[in-house]
Amino acid sequence: EGLVVIREGLRHLPNQPDLLINGGNGLANLGNWAEAVDLFVRAANQRPRDVDLLQKIVYCYEELGQLQAAQPYLQALQQLGAGQ
C-alpha cells in the first residue's frame, strides 16, 4: 500500500529525491532490486554526495550480480571517504 502512494507521488513529482529514495527502499525490501536501483540512481543524480544512497545503489547492483555497474558508485564512495 505504501508503494502505491509513493508511485502516485512519483507520477506527479517524478524527480523528487525523497520519494525516489522511499520508493527504492520499499522495492528493495521486496527484493525488487532492478526497480529499486533505478529509483536510487535517479535520486543520486540530484544527491551525488549522499553516502547512504550510494551504498544502496552498490548493494542493489551486487544483488543483481552487476558488479561492473556498481563500480562508479564504489569510486564515488571512495572519493567521499566512505568506501570501506
Which domains does the chain carry? 2-79 (1.25.40.10)
Q: Cα(68)–Cα(56) distance, rounded to whole angstroms?
A: 15
Return per-residue pLDDT of the chain as tens, 84 residues.
778 888 888 899 889 999 999 999 999 999 999 999 999 999 999 999 999 999 999 999 999 999 999 999 999 999 999 754
Start-end of H helices in the chain? 2-12, 17-29, 33-44, 51-64, 67-79
What is the residue whose three cell numbers read 563500480? 71
Burial of 39 (0-12, 13-18, 19+ CB in 10 A): buried
Global pTM? 0.90
